Structure 1
């Protein structure tokens, strides 16, 4: 679209007819005067942009919020987009790119702008879907303040987007104004003995990073410093964004705590444009809300300061073998789960593809056990697999990793995570409490429930089972976080997952998507039935989780979060699907399906 000022000059006249084109819209975005948009653009140094789906260069027509128009496809740009369809870092470099492309489409109307790698220019329409209409490419605190003040003035629905690495569509929204923080990413800064603002004493070594920083760059910045950090496992996850806002798990959280436990200070622009610092000594309600209350809700975090730990060696285990006796495989994994948790393993294990070629996979990292102890810890599962027919195909790798960066770049770990980029998927999940593993009857009930699903399962072992929560962070303390209490007593973050091609015309019909989401949601019901009062990791949860309040936060935390939300954002300008204080019938959610009675009613 050329330079932004040219694009705006071309688009602004359309605002005069927007009322006719979008007569059903309730968004105030179409009532903003042309002069106001130009003024905002000037105030953010020309970084106000019209937003479009990443696939637009490959289509011959384009239906945006202002109606249907011809589009001049660009073969070179189209090829660039297609070549990065499954590359996480490429996807997140475009505002209109989403890690899970289905959530940039209008699922309810079957309207999309998705591509396959083999297609060229398509004589078809690219639909705006849920991609916001305008965005500011925010690269400073002032950019964010100007944007939020503008949104307040005109009562605009606001979407916050960092990387778009999201499994439930939280960084997209119909007819919204977006703030994109991905390019607000100066180099991380280490402070050897940091004292949080207004606090009386230092907390030790920390690293401070900004809103747009991503995991792979943060890990690389720490290489050779002698320090390690708790952050996400996937390279494109933004540790200052939705990751920590939802709790923040990774392969080392069992021993070093969740992301929320490690944060020492956050700086945030509130919905009214005020810039504040939150920590255990000031703005404690905001600190509580930002650490577990969910992303895109309470403000725009610009800077996070988190604890550093001495780097060390880690024991590594990877075991894999096709299995025919799925129940037997489930039984050995369930029987040893509590002990593995107590020993500090982090990673993932489970039985995959149970409807096709069942495969037992066990991938783990341990900061507490040496190599021999690690082998002994996994002996029950390796003995079981070695006794099976076909054990000559057993993959069994045990080794010592010298540091965190080696662990994070483990080819096996990346082979699990990276294929999710650009692929549409949905999952259902549950934090399974320790008590479900502690009796023979409990183990049997869990195995029985696992046997009812057809998708296969993966247990992410990321609960802080070997981490002692500081007294200041206990319930009622100044550093209390708002994550589900279930995190503190769970052994598994159990997940079921299914995927589909986001450009498949059959798989992406509203009927097919609704069926897929419903089947995935209902598949977790047997686990929900035997884990009453447990929770779910909101960042990797069922899109149609039947009890989001109880599962993501718990009633007590939710009540406090809702009160904070009403105080900070009384007009609910910052919102997303299943976020604190959300309205399911808000126009920004109109492209979601209605599944299990959950979803927009219009």
Structure 2
């Protein structure tokens, strides 16, 4: 006898009363559902974790007179810190870029920090955030939170810093901010490896709450470096789990390439130490297969390297008065087209293209490289640019440092701006073949880049372009998108606008960016995108973000998380569930 799909769904829900059965759909539970845990259950969880369960309250709620915790003085402090990523990281639920209609700080007249005059009338918008937070300080706290979410079919969120997308509405969140472990190993031996084998390596173990800045500075205390991101406030674990590019990755490998061992609380509540010698499939998946879906990572051990000397080359090319957009973009294309040659000779770094006025910059680093060597590498490009001195102004400087950490201290003691405005991006990993045809790439740049004149729409800031030439071609057996290995430049087109921008202007900007995303795919059809900076338009996302690894990753996901305890957008297996307009996560009928 065959059971119909609706009967099977009903049977599943009856066997697991924690699920909500909504119109014959199996869904995660929300606060107003019958299946939502009773107060007694939450109290028991709080007791289990020694009082570290937090009832969520958005930090800006203190600005709203209708909220029970309204406090004008506290609201002033929120305004003072709203653009600090460190401040958002220190809050159990706040994130750098909250949703458009989340709980933003408001002035006494009800206007938000972004200029939205309706924010006060609309209210705090706390429904955009997790309902409860486990302020985890031990692995047992994490286990308790994971087990509770699984048993009660509550959406599970994991937050370390909040720099990325670590906020799921109506969820139980596990905050790993206080996992502060830092341990340097002269000879690290992974569990399960023979201590006399060649498995030993200089390494550092970091807890899940460690930021890039903290990782860099701790390694420097031991005259070593570890790879990390370009932003001081990025959490190392989430950054590396999705692949991870940064200043040092072009020389030492991507963030995922540095993995030696990872300690995870799996979705079924087990503590697993994964490396190349045990739980190798999970270890492979966590190294580049995306963060937030394989379990809750509580610590990560990564390779360390001797502290290198560093040469830094800074190039700025700006349009002279009277230069046409066509002529300037051809020069900009020459700057990009030379990047693969520079990479082959040992330089790696970052590019920006902004305007008006139109300017392209290229900052490249050479490790254990002399000033003279850098001069030899860049001379061919500078000679070509000199020929065009009537079109562009060129500034080129080289600085040398005996220790890389001095570069970081001088140029990167900054943080991303929290509480970002609205915006949209398109991104693609571009191989050398996509950028070395100067005429073709110049036409492409002009079609997607900033204009010679300011935008006519007062709400729109204009386009900007960023390039990342810090990928690694070295072959490492991990889940990193294979497209990274052939990438010359990770290319991002961006545009931002205030939160009070009219919907018509937003729609126009989004439509234009969708066209730019199409053009990016057209010049690199066989490539992909970076999970952490994928852009807003990602058709065929499984192939685009994971390449040929996706089917293997999905098998591992089903093995370690058969009940889909963890879900995040564009993560492996996420298409088996969908989010309804009312915020419910429901299982697809075919899954």
After TM superposition, list the pairs within 5 Å mapping 1:549-560 onto structure 2. Answer: 549-554=542-547, 556-560=548-552
Q: Check whether the contact 1:175–1:588 (CA below 8 A) recurs between aligned residues.
A: no
Larger radius of gyration: 2
After TM superposition, list the pairs within 5 Å mapping 1:391-470 onto structure 2. Answer: 394-411=394-411, 413=412, 418-419=416-417, 422-437=420-435, 442-454=437-449, 455-465=463-473, 468-469=474-475
Aligned mate of 1:142, from 137, 140, 143: 140
Aligned to 2:366: 366
CA distance in 2, matches of 1:71, 1:517: 38
Q: What do residues 132-167 of structure 1 show as CA deviations (whole Å, max 9, x unaligned)?
A: 11111111111000101111111111111111111x
After TM superposition, list the pairs within 5 Å mapping 1:303-382 onto structure 2. Answer: 303-323=299-319, 324=323, 325-353=327-355, 356-382=356-382
Are 1:536 and 2:529 an aligned pair? yes
Q: Check whether the contact 1:329–1:360 (CA below 8 A) recurs between aligned residues.
A: no
Q: What do residues 398-446 of structure 1 show as CA deviations (whole Å, max 9, x unaligned)?
A: 11122222222343x566x6347644443221111133345xxx44333
| CA spacing shift, 1:254–1:111, aligned 2, 3 Å | closer
Q: Check whether the contact 2:333–2:441 (CA below 8 A) recurs between aligned residues.
A: no
After TM superposition, list the pairs within 5 Å mapping 1:149-164 onto structure 2. Answer: 149-164=147-162
After TM superposition, list the pairs within 5 Å mapping 1:65-104 onto structure 2. Answer: 70-101=67-98
- With normalisation by structure 1, the TM-score equals 0.82
Structure 1 position 519, deviation (Å): 3.0
| CA spacing shift, 1:56–1:337, aligned 2, 3 Å | same
Are 1:293 and 2:289 an aligned pair? yes
Are 1:191 and 2:185 an aligned pair? yes
Structure 1 position 375, deviation (Å): 2.4
| CA spacing shift, 1:25–1:195, aligned 2, 3 Å | closer
Q: What do residues 20-66 of structure 1 show as CA deviations (whole Å, max 9, x unaligned)?
A: xxxx99542432011110000011111111223231111123xxxxx
| CA spacing shift, 1:118–1:427, aligned 2, 3 Å | closer
**Aligned-partner SS, 1:183:** coil
CA distance in 1, matches of 2:367, 2:190: 28
Aligned mate of 1:273, from 257, 266, 269: 269
| CA spacing shift, 1:316–1:450, aligned 2, 3 Å | same
After TM superposition, list the pairs within 5 Å mapping 1:40-59 onto structure 2. Answer: 40-59=45-64
Q: What do residues 507-551 of structure 1 show as CA deviations (whole Å, max 9, x unaligned)?
A: 5x5x65555444323312112112121011110111331221111
**Aligned-partner SS, 2:264:** strand
| CA spacing shift, 1:380–1:52, aligned 2, 3 Å | farther
| CA spacing shift, 1:330–1:172, aligned 2, 3 Å | same
| CA spacing shift, 1:368–1:432, aligned 2, 3 Å | farther
5+ residue gaps, structure 2: 1-19, 107-111, 450-462, 585-591
CA distance in 2, matches of 1:25, 1:130: 22
CA distance in 1, matches of 2:368, 2:426: 31
Q: Check whether the contact 1:533–1:550 (CA below 8 A) recurs between aligned residues.
A: no
CA distance in 2, matches of 1:583, 1:514: 26
| CA spacing shift, 1:463–1:564, aligned 2, 3 Å | same
Q: Check whether the contact 2:312–2:399 (CA below 8 A) recurs between aligned residues.
A: yes
What is the root-mean-square deviation in Å for CA atoms of aligned residues?
A: 2.7
Q: Check whether the contact 1:434–1:491 (CA below 8 A) recurs between aligned residues.
A: yes
Q: What do residues 339-388 of structure 1 show as CA deviations (whole Å, max 9, x unaligned)?
A: 011122222114212xx211121112111531122123223444455553
Structure 1 position 226, deviation (Å): 1.5
CA distance in 2, matches of 1:536, 1:590: 30
CA distance in 2, matches of 1:249, 1:39: 42
Q: Check whether the contact 2:55–2:132 (CA below 8 A) recurs between aligned residues.
A: yes
Q: Check whether the contact 1:254–1:463 (CA below 8 A) recurs between aligned residues.
A: yes
After TM superposition, list the pairs within 5 Å mapping 1:98-247 onto structure 2. Answer: 98-101=95-98, 105=99, 107=100, 110=101, 112-114=103-105, 123-124=120-121, 125-166=123-164, 169=165, 171-186=166-181, 188-200=182-194, 201=197, 202-240=199-237, 242-247=238-243
CA distance in 2, matches of 1:288, 1:579: 15
- With normalisation by structure 2, the TM-score equals 0.83
